[in-house]
């Protein structure tokens, strides 16, 4: 399968300024089609839904169509299972409040030390219900979470497990099906953070043993908006977060109504990926096209990751934080590392001089960085690829890292 790189790069409006953008785990470039859809909505459909006049009815139909496109993207059986949120953090905060009445003193919630804080902090509100929190750590030597450690935490009091599908530091894909089967076996619910996973691999929630899933569209080629998915029965059982007389899914979980123009922009993601799949594998359509797109994306991004990792492996002064194999099936193109003796911020600033955008810090996965003993010296340098990046751009980064030793300096900027 040949990756249609020219088609991909032409679809994004921010790739023509000479920079190599390797901060994609913080936020990808946005599709030109998303910008056009947002503008078209504001020009021609900028009214409130719910009216009987033509433009209001058209706006309501458009919102339903946009929600259906996002449902198609993640394989949701029903469009009404897609809740539009301001962000992943906002989605989990909303979910935690809506779930709270289902908890009682003594109930247990399992969180992790290797998640982004968006799937840890929001659940702390359950402490008001007398909930006990148990933390799934990872092996500090191998830097890999072990399923047997999760088994030891699960018990008759477990009501919820919150876990990431892929670490935004390690680039490690978690065995979600095995995790889900264990959580289901314990009679608990499973909430999944798919932020780092969604831009790189196919999501099909209908096939997963999970209850809730959230991710950010601005990290998946779209606008600054989030998606929270839940199984219909689960969503219907949640406490409404809108006015007391609004109890229909998903509206009861979208207080103040969703942002319509961002929904229009987000809906452009699915047809773009379907078109990408058709360019990679002519003749496929619909869900098969999405499968083909992400198969092609994974192969291309694996080549990018392995190019950089091969170079980093050759340097004895580099500590790669995560798997060192860029082609591994459970390895995403999110590469964090430390350069011995040097501040991470100094490394990032050195490569920026060559118009290569990377990031450093803890990336709001502070518990993980502290757990691994990497909180000092600016945290880690993170290089995160997207499918529109090129081998030539990776080689530019390698050239900069090879040509100069970054001066030791105090960090001036922090990752987020």
Tens of pLDDT, residues 333-386:
999 999 998 899 999 999 999 999 999 999 999 999 999 999 989 999 999 999
Euclidean distance between the first and final Cα of the chain, in Å? 35
Question: Would you state the structure tokens that stand for residue 105, as one six-digit string?
Answer: 């003193």
399 domain-assigned: yes
How much is the pLDDT for 414? 44
pLDDT band at 410, cuts 50/70/90?
Answer: very low
- Distance between CA atoms of residues 411 and 93, nearest Å: 31
Give the domain range for residue 136: 34-267
Task: Tell me whether residue 278 is in a domain.
Answer: no
Is residue 259 over pLDDT 80? Answer: yes
Domain co-membership, 16 together with 83: no
Pair 20, 64 in one domain? no
Which DSSP symbol is given to 406? P
Kindly state whether residue 277 falls inside one of the protein's structural domains: no
For residue 405, the model assigns a pLDDT of 59
31: pLDDT strictly greater than 60: yes
* Mean pLDDT across the chain: 95
The reply to whether 357 falls in a domain is: yes
On whether residue 179 sits in a domain, the answer given is: yes
Q: Where are the beta strands (DSSP E) in 125-265?
A: 132-136, 158-164, 189-193, 212-216, 226-230
Residue 392 in any domain: the answer is: yes
Q: Does residue 283 form part of some domain?
A: no
Tell me what pLDDT residue 415 has: 45
Residues 129 and 112 in one domain: yes
Asked if 299 and 280 touch (Cβ cutoff 8 Å), the reply is: no
Residues 6+ apart with CB under 8 A from 152: none
- Percent of the chain clearing pLDDT 70 (strictly above): 97
User: What's the pLDDT tens digit per position in 159-213?
Assistant: 999 999 999 999 999 999 999 999 999 999 999 999 999 999 999 999 999 999 9
Query: Are 70 and 175 found together in one domain?
Result: yes
Q: How far apart are CA 358 and CA 334, in angstroms?
A: 11
**Nearest partner of 332 among 198, 187, 142, judged by Cα:** 198
pLDDT band at 239 (very low <50, low <70, confident <90, very high): very high
Statement to judge: residues 78 and 26 lie in one domain: no
Task: Give the model's pLDDT for residue 403.
Answer: 78
Is residue 195 domain-shared with residue 238, that is, in the same domain?
A: yes
Q: Per-residue confidence at 404, pLDDT binned at 50, 70, 90? A: low
Q: Are residues 225 and 361 in the same domain?
A: no
Each residue's pLDDT tens digit, 113-156 = 999 999 999 999 999 999 999 999 998 788 899 999 999 999 99
Nearest-CA neighbor of 144 among 335, 321, 383?
321
Query: Given this model, what pLDDT does residue 411 score?
Result: 41
What pLDDT does residue 1 have?
A: 73
Same domain, 11 and 39: no
When divided into structural domains, the chain yields a total of 2
d(CA 117, CA 176): 19
What CATH number corresponds to the domain at position 15? Answer: 3.90.1150.10
Q: Is the pLDDT of residue 416 over 80?
A: no
Examine the pLDDT at 409 and tell me if it is beyond 70: no
As a whole number of angstroms, the distance between CA 372 and CA 90 comes to: 27
Same domain for 149 and 259, yes or no, is yes
Closest alpha carbon to 326 in 304, 307, 306, 311: 306
Using one digit for the tens of pLDDT, what is the confidence trace for 202-237? 999 999 999 999 999 999 999 999 999 999 999 999
Looking at the fold, whether 180 and 100 belong to one and the same domain comes out as: yes
From the centroid of its chain, how far is CA 73? 14
pLDDT of residue 309: 98
Instruction: Give yes or no: residues 218 and 248 share one domain.
Output: yes
The reported pLDDT for the residue numbered 142 is: 87
**What CATH number is associated with residue 141?**
3.40.640.10
Give, for 380, the enclosing helix (H) or strand (E).
strand 380-384
Out of 252, 267, 282, a domain closes at 267
Burial class (CB in 10 A: 0-12, 13-18, 19+), 209: middle
pTM, two decimals, is 0.95
Domain assignment present for 226: yes
Tokens at residue 135, please? 């933390």
17 and 66 assigned to the same domain:
no
């Amino acid at each position: 399968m040949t990756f249609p790189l020219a088609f991909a790069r032409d679809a994004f409006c921010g790739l023509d300024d000479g920079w190599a953008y390797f901060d994609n785990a913080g936020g990808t470039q946005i599709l030109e089609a998303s910008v056009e859809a947002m503008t078209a909505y504001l020009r021609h459909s900028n009214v409130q839904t719910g009216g009987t006049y033509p433009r209001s009815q058209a706006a309501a139909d458009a919102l339903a169509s946009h929600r259906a496109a996002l449902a198609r993207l993640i394989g949701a059986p029903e469009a009404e299972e897609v809740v539009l949120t301001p962000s992943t953090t906002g989605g989990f905060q909303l979910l935690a409040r809506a779930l709270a009445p289902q908890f009682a003193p003594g109930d247990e919630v399992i969180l992790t030390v290797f998640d982004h804080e968006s799937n840890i902090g929001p659940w702390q509100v359950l402490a008001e219900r007398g909930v006990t929190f148990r933390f799934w750590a990872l092996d500090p030597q191998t830097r890999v979470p072990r399923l047997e450690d999760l088994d030891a935490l699960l018990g008759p009091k477990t009501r919820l497990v919150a876990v990431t599908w892929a670490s935004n530091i390690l680039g490690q894909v978690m065995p979600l099906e095995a995790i889900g089967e264990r959580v289901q076996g314990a009679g608990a619910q499973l909430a999944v953070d798919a932020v780092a996973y969604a831009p790189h691999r196919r999501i099909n929630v209908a096939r997963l043993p999970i209850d809730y899933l959230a991710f950010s569209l601005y990290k998946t080629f779209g606008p600054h908006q989030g998606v929270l998915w839940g199984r219909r029965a689960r969503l219907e059982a949640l406490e409404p977060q809108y006015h007391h007389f609004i109890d229909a899914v998903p509206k009861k979980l979208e207080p103040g109504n969703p942002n319509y123009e961002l929904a229009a922009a987000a809906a452009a993601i699915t047809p773009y990926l379907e078109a990408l799949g058709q360019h990679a594998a002519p003749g496929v359509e619909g869900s098969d096209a999405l499968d083909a797109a992400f198969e092609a994306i994974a192969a291309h991004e694996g080549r990018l990751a392995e190019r950089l990792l091969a170079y980093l492996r050759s340097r004895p002064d580099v500590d790669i934080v995560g798997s060192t194999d860029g082609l591994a099936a459970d390895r995403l193109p999110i590469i964090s590392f430390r350069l011995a003796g040097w501040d991470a911020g100094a490394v990032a600033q050195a490569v920026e001089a060559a118009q290569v955008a990377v990031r450093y810090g803890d990336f709001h996965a502070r518990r993980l960085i502290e757990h691994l003993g990497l909180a000092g010296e600016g945290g880690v340098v993170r290089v995160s690829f997207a499918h529109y990046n090129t081998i030539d751009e990776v080689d530019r980064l390698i050239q900069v890292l090879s040509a100069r030793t970054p001066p030791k300096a105090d960090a001036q900027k922090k990752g987020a």
